[in-house]
Structure 1
Amino acid sequence: MNATVQKSRPADGSTVLVVDDTAANRYAMGAVLSRAGHVVVPVASAGEALVELDARLRAGSLPDVALVDVGLPDLSGFELCRRVKALPLLAGIPVVHFSARPSGSGDRCRALDAGGEAYLTVPAEPEEIQAVVRAALRGARELTDAQGQFDRLALLSETVVDVQGARCLVELATTAADATARLTRQSAAVFVLGDDGEVHAGMSRRGARAEVPDAVAREQAAAIARRVVCAPGGVRSTIVPGSMWPSAYFGPGDVKLVLARTRARHLPVCLATPVASDPAGRIGPLVAQLARATALAAEPLLMYEQERHVALTLQRSFLPAQLPELPGVEVAFRYVPASRQTEIGGDFYAVLPTAAGVLVGIGDVVGHSLDAATVMVEIRHALRAYSLEDPHPGRLVTRLDRMFQHYHPESSATLCLALVDPVTGRTSLANAGHIPPLRVPHEGRARYIDAAGPLLGLGLPHPEPTEVVLAPGERLLMVTDGLIETRRTDLSVSMAQLGAAATAAPAAPDALCDTLLSCFGADRADDIALLALRLSPTVSP
């Protein structure tokens, strides 16, 4: 049967399911509980109770406690309790068994063994009934609070792991915003304030990543955070009036800021959420711990960003921004550093005019670090110095190999050199472990030149250079593996794809480089360097 509510629910009342097959008993029990401010849902059998619980589970309005007569006509009260406790979504409802028959310790033990929280012998004084119900509710709420705090602590642990796994400051801010929203169950914004005034921001709207407001709102929020951040280090919380905080984040209303820094003058972090009720004080400390973890995670990321900036500056300062005038040839180059999540590499290129022709080269120091970038600079300087004396590619590779063994015995590098005579097109190539150069004719299919040899730094003998003759209008293309190397794809497949793309690309070296970057260069995990050379049509063999 459909249950009826005997009294409108007061603000502080609880819903009590009363299961008894005797109408008079249901009425009497309901009257006692209603006078105490509870909402009573009476049902006459175990079957009706299960139907009522299922309907309330679907509606999200489960009773707070159940009073169950042990002598029901279809199932005993003990069996009904077992079935309820066996269902995870219902197991948290406290069950109080009651009976009008004399009960010994056996019935009380059966009630407890079935999962019940208490046992009443009726008739009982109204005060006793109300006290037993209050005790059952209190125990259930304490258990629910404890489980909720356990869940929140487990969530904090998970989110701290996510925060520590961030690969850059922007990703850190975004991940921390997601974590804050999951802990507080409301929208959140996180700001990592760089020493140089840069603001790294992330936004989450109730657990779903959202677009960060524009630069004006972002800077307004960061300016407020900078004014209130704790100077000596630590974590502090403050409330900012909604009139001061940019409404693009959370709309009108006051905002709570939790600010953290590991110590004075270190990178501050700000977690922002709309002000919400936390009467038990359970959420605030967890958000403070998350802020502290975010500040700790920001420190190594900032150091990495600084190292990366130094390395990029170093690379770009030593790689030529403009090429010298080279009569008879056109040369184009492109250098694209890896994404911000990847360490700096040692890719480099060189275009050097010599008495014997134009010396072009491309290479890559093995590894990704500031050390790799430093070794790259040494190779390039040594190549420039050696080529003044002797530009022969084979002898240059041998001399560079000896330099590596002497000064960098723990390192190695790949290098491909080509000495091109702009007048005759004769080209001498030496390759030390690099992707072979691609010969792209004016018409026809591109082909890789058969030039190979061991890496620099291994001390192994290098073969004689490969000799080819480039035709007027023909292009010579050199690339580093960052352009085409992809996980789970064989390098030979990627090289074939590069050859096909180069064949179909425009003839001009600049257009060739741009086409290949558009085809292969998106979101690469390694630095990319390309160098394309074309003989002018006036060259005659």
Structure 2
Amino acid sequence: MDVDGKLTDTTVLVVDDRAANRYAMGTVLRRAGHQVVPVATGGEALVELDVRLRKGILPDVALVDVDLPDMSGFELCRRLKSRPHMAGLPVVHFSAAAVAPGDRCHGLDAGGEAYLTVPAEPEEIQAVVRAAVRAARLRADDQAVLRRLTLLSETIVAIQAARSPKELADAAADGTARLTGGPATVFVLSPDDELFCGTSRDRTSLALPDDGAHRSVAALLRRLTRGQAGVHLTTVPAPLWPTGFFRPGVQHDARLALVLTQDGKAPVCLATPTRGMRRVDPEAEALVVRLAQATALAAEPLLMYRVERHVALTLQHSFLPQPHRLRNLPGLDVEVRYVPASSQTEIGGDFYVALRTGDGVLTAVGDVVGHSLEAATVMVEIRHALRAYGVDESDPSVLAGRLDRMLQRYHPDVTATVCLALIDPATGRTRIANAGHIPPLVIRDTQTADYAEADGPLLGLGLPHPPPTELVLEPTDRLLMVTDGLIETRGTDLAASMEHLRAAAAGALSGLDALCDTLLACFGDDREDDIALLALQRTN
């Protein structure tokens, strides 16, 4: 503290091998209100500082005699400044001997803040100590501000990189905790009252408050932000704030920084524990306010993304046949799976088809290149075209050719892959036409699996399609058709991924459900593309 221009509550380390000098210097400093820690050598000084560092009570300044018996005062200064946790300790060199200007420069070059010639007037000694301590505290304050601004910048980068409201809340909570030095919880309340809660890393995920506590917070956020604009700071006393959000089972008052998203619909809350209505660190709180504003800005597109993604997926699912309709195919059991890309908002072009024809059951799995409404629209056209062509034609190769011409005529800039299989359930005769797609996989009951040798050009290129590949499915065989979203991984060779798929399918338990579930468990997490699977087996 500064009292009438003088620093008090400061501790001064005095390093001098002469007891009389330590006593005289200590007397002057104590009269000025300083605490004094006297030591005789550089080695003793280092030991004393190590002990104090472990206790977190380093002195505020060190007065170091240049002529110490075990090392020079300049060497002691260099050693102190080389230690990260002691580098900020200001050092004032002093000497009773006449010194040349070069010696003063030596001390400054070693990292010292000042050089004092003794004997000196008490006022001069006190003034030098005050100046050194003030300068060190200003540097420490500047470094603290810089650290906090760096933490704020790092947190804003993290929240802007969040892929979901939950990730956003976790990143903001962790940043708030680092800014304030304590636990933090962040809440994002969507327009449809879904609450996303994030906790700082030092808070265990176990014993979090229950759903009732979350509902209470959601209602509180709605009430506190009603009619508000900008950032709203408030303290909620413990009886009104649910227990356990900051520490398991512990009740706290909560200091809240509340802000609405830019559209004014979704409250964002950064919450930290506090005691009563005491004044919080204004600099830390100002940074928390900035973080709250940045969190609200980042939350809006993520919440909008969830809405758009829900609409897109609902629309895409409406384009695909429902699984129960595929179970009414005579002589075949059919299972399908569709999993949208984990990071894709737009509608994809993956599809599956299974329908009766005059010569058996026609199945197809395909993918229109791209993720867009156009890709989904073309996907629907291909499905309907295939159903229309299948009324009079069953040959998979002929159907592939017709689909190719349809794309060239109506969508000349679009390409697609598709694999078609015509199965006679009575005999197992299967004819396969493949247009640039992953070939079907035949899984035998001997725990072996092989890809059908069927290939051909993509749809939309105008190239001729080869005759269909023929094989016979035994009643115990399973036929698997997938889109490349299941196995394709950036940076991994597709042939290697296909081999992994073959091995996983061969080792799957019997049954179509088990096959599909096994493959999704092996390959289906966090995929960058949509996944469509169709598995079938003869029933006679």
Over the matched positions of the two proteins, sequence identity in percent amounts to 63
Distance in 1 of aligned mates of 2:218 and 2:92: 55
CA-to-aligned-CA distance 1:476-530 (integer Å, 9 cap, x gap): 2212223333455443333334334434444433343334334443444433222
Mapped partners of 1:119, 1:507: distance in 2: 86
The structural deviation recorded for 1:420 is: 1.8
Partners of 1:95 and 1:222 in 2: CA distance: 54
CA distance in 1, matches of 2:307, 2:410: 26
- In structure 2, the CA distance between the partners of 1:209 and 1:487, relative to structure 1 (3 Å rule), is farther
Cα pair distance change 1:288/1:378, threshold 3 Å:
farther
2:395 counterpart letter in structure 1: H
Matches within 5 A, 1:208-357: 213-229=209-225, 231=227, 233-250=229-246, 251-275=250-274, 281-321=282-322, 322-324=324-326, 325-339=328-342, 345-357=348-360
Q: How does 1:335-484 map to 2 (within 5 A)?
A: 335-339=338-342, 345-443=348-446, 445-484=448-487
- Quick one: distance in 2 between partners of 1:282 and 1:77? 38
My pick for the range that moved more, 497-506 or 424-433, is 497-506
What RMSD over aligned residues (CA atoms) do the two structures have, in Å?
Answer: 2.8
- For 1:6, the equivalent position in structure 2 comes to none
Residues 202 and 212 of structure 1 are in contact (CA less than 8 Å); yes or no, is this contact kept in structure 2?
A: no
With 29-38 and 180-189 compared, the bigger mean Cα shift is at 29-38
Contact 2:305 2:345 in 1 (8 A): no
The DSSP-based 3-state class of the residue aligned with 1:223 is: helix
Q: Does 1:99 align with 2:123?
A: no
Deviation at 1:360, TM superposition (A): 0.8
| Matching residue of 2:3 | none
Structure 1, residues 339-365: CA drift from partner, whole Å, max 9, x if none?
367765332111111223211111122
- Aligned-partner Cα distance in 2 for 1:491–1:234: 51
Q: Distance in 1 between matches of 2:164 and 2:346?
A: 11
> What is the CA-CA distance between 1:153 and the residue it aligns to?
0.9
Could you say if the C-alpha distance between residues 50 and 441 of structure 1 is closer, same or farther in structure 2, counting changes exceeding 3 Å? closer
2:77 is the alignment partner of 1:75: no
Cα displacement (A) at 1:389:
4.1
Say which SS state the counterpart of residue 33 (structure 1) adopts.
helix
The question of whether the paired residues in 2 share the 8 Å contact of 1:339 and 1:523 is answered with: yes
Q: Give the direction of change, closer, same or farther, for the CA distance of 1:532–1:111 in structure 2 (3 Å limit).
A: closer
Distance in 1 between the 2:473 and 2:101 partners? Answer: 103
**Which stretches in structure 2 are left out of the alignment for 5+ residues?**
1-6
Aligned counterpart in structure 2 of residue 149 of structure 1, from 145, 152, 167: 145
5+ residue gaps, structure 1, are: 1-10
- For the residues of structure 2 that align with 1:241 and 1:420, how far apart are their CA atoms? 70
Residues of 1 paired with 2:70 and 2:443: CA distance? 88
CA distances 1:224-274 after superposition (whole Å, capped 9, x unpaired): 122223756532322111111111202322111112234343433211111
Contact 1:99–1:120, Cα closer than 8 Å, also in 2: yes
Amino acid at match of 1:297: A
State the partner residue of 1:129. Answer: 125
Matched with 2:176 is 180
Deviation (angstroms), 1:101: 4.4
- 1:188–1:205: 8 Å Cα contact kept in structure 2? no
More moved, 448-457 vs 331-340: 331-340
Give the Å deviation of 1:160: 1.1
2:334–2:534 CA contact under 8 A, matched in 1: yes
Q: Deviations for 1:357-383, whole angstroms, at most 9, x for unmatched residues?
A: 211111122234455434333322332
Aligned residues: 527
Q: Which moved more, 1:263-272 or 1:63-72?
A: 263-272
Moved more, 494-503 or 247-256: 494-503
User: What SS does structure 2 have at the residue aligned with 1:228?
Assistant: helix
* Partner SS state of residue 243, structure 1: helix
In structure 2, the CA distance between the partners of 1:286 and 1:188, relative to structure 1 (3 Å rule), is same
Following the alignment from structure 2 to structure 1, what is the Cα–Cα distance between the partners of residues 517 and 46? 70
Q: Whole-Å Cα distance in 2 between the matches of residues 494 and 398 of structure 1?
A: 29
Q: Deviations over 1:267-324 (max 9, x none)?
A: 3321111127776522112112212222222222223222221221012112222125
Paired residue for 2:112? Answer: 116
Letter in 1 for 2:325: L
- Call closer, same or farther: CA 1:129–1:404 in 2, change over 3 Å: same
How far did residue 68 of structure 1 move? 1.7
**Residue number in structure 2 paired with 1:8:** none
Deviations 1:203-230 (A, max 9, x none): 1154777775332222222221222237
Query: Partners in 2 of 1:504 and 1:66 — Cα distance?
Result: 72
C-alpha change, 1:386 and 1:225, in structure 2 (3 Å) is same
Give the Cα separation in 2 of the matches to 1:343 and 1:162.
24
Structure 1 letter corresponding to 2:402:
R
Q: Label 1:213 to 1:413 Cα distance change in 2 as closer, same or farther (>3 A).
A: farther
Q: TM-score, normalised by structure 2?
A: 0.88
* 1:409 shift after superposition: 3.7
Shift, 1:177, TM fit:
1.4
Shift of the 454–187 alpha-carbon distance from structure 1 to 2, 3 Å rule, reads: same
Aligned to 2:4: none
Structure 2 distance, partners of 1:271, 1:463, is 63
- Go from structure 1 to structure 2 and tell me whether the alpha carbon gap of 1:504 and 1:153 turns closer, same or farther (over 3 Å shift): closer
- 2:469 aligned partner, one-letter code: T
Q: Within 1, Cα distance between the matches of 2:524 and 2:307?
A: 25
- Shift in CA distance, 431/62, structure 1 to aligned 2, threshold 3 Å: same
- Name the amino acid aligned to 1:383: L
* 1:158-177 alignment runs, 5 A limit: 158-177=154-173
Say whether 1:138 aligns with 2:134: yes
State how far apart, in whole Å, the 2-side matches of 1:98 and 1:506 are.
84
Q: Give the secondary structure class of the aligned counterpart of 2:467.
A: coil
Distance in 2, Cα, partners of 1:326 & 1:203: 51
- Shift in Å, 1:18: 0.4
Query: 1:88/1:326 Cα in 2 relative to 1: closer, same or farther (>3 Å)?
Result: closer
Which whole-Å CA distance do the structure 1 matches of 2:307 and 2:274 have between them?
35
Cα offsets for 1:436-456 (capped at 9, x unmatched):
112234557332111111222
Q: Kindly state the Cα deviation for residue 415 of structure 1 after the two structures are TM-superposed.
A: 0.9
What is the CA–CA distance in structure 2 between the aligned matches of 1:417 and 1:536, rounded to whole Å?
20
1:315–1:377 Cα contact (<8 Å) kept: no
